[in-house]
Structure 1
Amino acid sequence: MNVLLLLAAILFILMTLIGGKKGVRSFLALFFNIGIILCTIIFLLSPSNNPIIITFVACTIISCINLFFINGINKKTISAYISTMITIVILFFFIFIVTEKSMIYGFGEEEIEELSMFSFYVGIDFVKIMVSLIIMTTIGAITDTAIAVASPMYELHHHHPLISRKDLFGFGLRIGRDILGTSTNTIFFAFFGGYLALFIWFIDLSYSLGEIVNSKIFSAEMITIFCAGIGITLIIPITSWITAYALVNMKTSIKTTDENTGKEVI
């Protein structure tokens, strides 16, 4: 516990020194998101609850925390939030179909021995559970990409208010292309870092390459990575279009909050 508190204190100090007030909000957002995830897990344990609905509500709250609580309510965060919600809805349908067709839900044979003493008739739809798991895995990367695209577009329009929507949209796409590779690689290496022990186990059991690729655990994680990559790729044009439309074409005055001063702006 002392190590955890020490690391948390170091993280808080660094985020405060470098990020200022926004760094403090980002630090608090970590714990808010952990609380949301824990509440989601508790609700998912009940067979009477729909995992899809619970996950969508959790993703909505997490998106609000990551975007509005940290960066304030302004045109770029509103655009990023709308883009995130649209992408999540599209991914729900896509991931549901992929999960059902690939049959990656449930337990793999590597896990059966450890769980053999328990009953598998728990009354839970594992297809929906797997869909929820993949969505919760991708929500952080999706919101991160959305704000990373919307923020420079907002700054460009602020300094060049006469820029056309087409040029602003193209600028957003170029920003998205620059961060696309690093975002997908981050998810990819996070998987290999978390499942390094699994690969060592595969080697000890003398698994062939074909057996590793066809393993349910490995396939489920790779499909999760691919779905996250699809979500990151898909949100780039969606965010670019919505942000360009909101900045250039929306004539209605909307009162928002400046992220630095906290004052209301139009």
Structure 2
Amino acid sequence: MATRNAGRRRADHRANRRRGLDIPAGHGHGHGHGHGEHVVDTSVVDSDAIVARRVRIVVAAILIPLIAAAVVAMIVMWPGGGLKVASYQTETARGEVAAIKACTDAKAQCDQATVKLTTGADKGQLVPVEVPKTGQVAIPVKVGQSVMLGVQTDAQTIAEKYQYVDHDRTKPLLVLALIFAIAVVALSRWRGFAALIALGVTAVMLTQFILPAILKGSSPLLVAVVGGAVIMTVAVYLTHGINAESSIALSGTIAALGLTVGLGWFFTKFCQLSGLASEGASTAKQFAPNLDLAGLLVAGMVIGALGVLDDVTVTQAAAVWELSAANPSASRTELIGAGLRIGRTHVASVVNTLVLAYAGAALPILITFAIQGLPGQYVLSTELVAMEVVRGLVGSLGIIAAVPLTTALAAMAVADRSRDLITTAPEHLGADPA
């Protein structure tokens, strides 16, 4: 009787395999998009013993060694104190404009502001500050606005001690950040809250490790790779949980990150990019002569692509997980094919987004060339434009590669679940061991 039941189940299994992937209508690509309301429970995939065993192999063979190497490298390269360049150090202060008038010297292109200090050693005092009106087009300073000031500690008079730096935009930025946080938590709830914590970790890594380590003299490329790997590990596991699906997504992210680094380094050399055309590069080189600007350029490509890589790999892993939950007997070939069909649309939109983001950042440069009426080929060959082209295309290639890499890893983890259960553990299907 048990043999007859097992044979019937194997026959049903073969019939299911011949039908291929039986995915419910309206099934999305991991984010729940679609026209139907059907929701596939992917917890059965995470709890599958076969999947767990396969993912443990990936974690032990790939993730743990890579994460451990990144953590060790981060500890070794962690910067100490006193990294600022002495000639560029300055004290700062903030204040509110109490009054403003034109400078008494008609030839001087400036306004004379009276600022009430809100921070610093002279807090509460009214001090004179010249607000220049020459050079770059400036936003006019008005009474009641907050401003940032530089402090010249060795100045002879109070009129020379404080210099205008810029508007103080702390309050509006905090308001915008608060609106963003509320929107994220309102939509995604606890997962959104975890994403905000991951965002905070990213900010800490950038300000406390990546930037100081580069200033200390470490290779910008190595720092970006190590910092990026740690950031993605924390972000993926904190936002999506420590589970099999997240581990596969993280593996795909790190693999695509490595490819992005290789492509970025190669095409930076191949296109003879020095990195000097980057905004602020010449100033940084002036105060840190040993700074590797070409490496810094590639590091920027890596960090710029991290967020999109995270989105793509998590989506692809979720898609394959749901495909497997809908049809446990789906083979690797079937899952990879279906996953890639889902990924094509996602990649097309994400790549366009990344390229447009870089183009938007370079818009003032493009406007300048348009005014000059230079030939397109000439414009593309200038480092200012070529640098943005390489950034956009290298980042896009990394995203494109992330789709098949993550899809293949996910498919290898979850494929043929029902077949393995039939051949290795028939008792799980209700067969009589006797």
Q: How does 1:228-247 map to 2 (within 5 A)?
A: 228-247=395-414
| Equivalent residues, number | 248
Shift in Å at residue 175 of structure 1?
Answer: 1.2
Q: Which runs of 5+ in 2 are unaligned?
A: 1-169, 421-434
Alignment CA distance shift 1:164-1:24 (3 Å) = same
2:216 to 31, 40, 46: 46
Which has the higher relative contact order, 1 or 2, with Cα contacts under 8 A spaced 6 or more apart? 1
Aligned to 2:25: none
Q: TM-score, normalised by structure 2?
A: 0.53
Question: Displacement, 1:127?
Answer: 2.9
Q: Aligned pair 1:64/2:233, yes or no? A: yes
Q: Aligned partner of 1:41: which letter? A: L
Overall identity of the aligned pairs, in %: 22
* More moved, 185-194 vs 117-126: 117-126
Q: Which has the higher strand share?
A: 2
User: Are the counterparts in 1 of residues 362 and 388 from structure 2 also a CA contact under 8 Å?
Assistant: no
User: Are residue 76 (structure 1) and residue 249 (structure 2) matched?
Assistant: no
Pairing of 1:1-266 with structure 2 (within 5 A): 1-38=170-207, 39-47=209-217, 49-108=218-277, 115=282, 119=286, 122-248=289-415
> CA separation in 1, counterparts of 2:206 and 2:348?
27
CA 1:91–1:13 in structure 2 vs 1: closer, same or farther (change >3 Å)? closer
- Bigger helix fraction: 1
Name the CA distance, whole Å, in 2 between partners of 1:117 and 1:69.
34
2:216 alignment partner, SS class: coil
Deviations 1:112-134 (A, max 9, x none): 9x958974881233332222121
Given that 2:359 and 2:388 are in contact with CA atoms closer than 8 Å, whether structure 1 keeps it comes out as no
What is the alpha-carbon root mean square deviation over aligned residues?
Answer: 2.5
The ranges of structure 1 where at least 4 consecutive aligned residues each deviate by more than 3 angstroms after the TM superposition are 114-121, 203-208
Amino acid at match of 2:323: L
* C-alpha distance in 2 between matches for 1:66 and 1:247: 23
Counterpart residue identity of residue 99, structure 1 = T
Instruction: Tell me how far apart the structure 2 counterparts of residues 117 and 50 of structure 1 sit (CA, whole Å).
Output: 15
Contact 1:141-1:183 within 8 A present in 2 as well: yes
Flag the structure with larger Rg. 2
**Residues in 2 aligned to 1:115 and 1:53: alpha-carbon distance in whole angstroms:** 22
Q: Distance in 2 between matches of 1:10 and 1:148?
A: 26
| C-alpha contact 1:75 1:247 (8 A) present in aligned 2 | no
Alignment-derived partner of residue 34 in structure 2: none
Instruction: Give the whole-Å Cα distance in 1 for the aligned partners of 2:177 and 2:318.
Output: 28
Following superposition, the deviation at residue 161 of structure 1 comes to 1.8
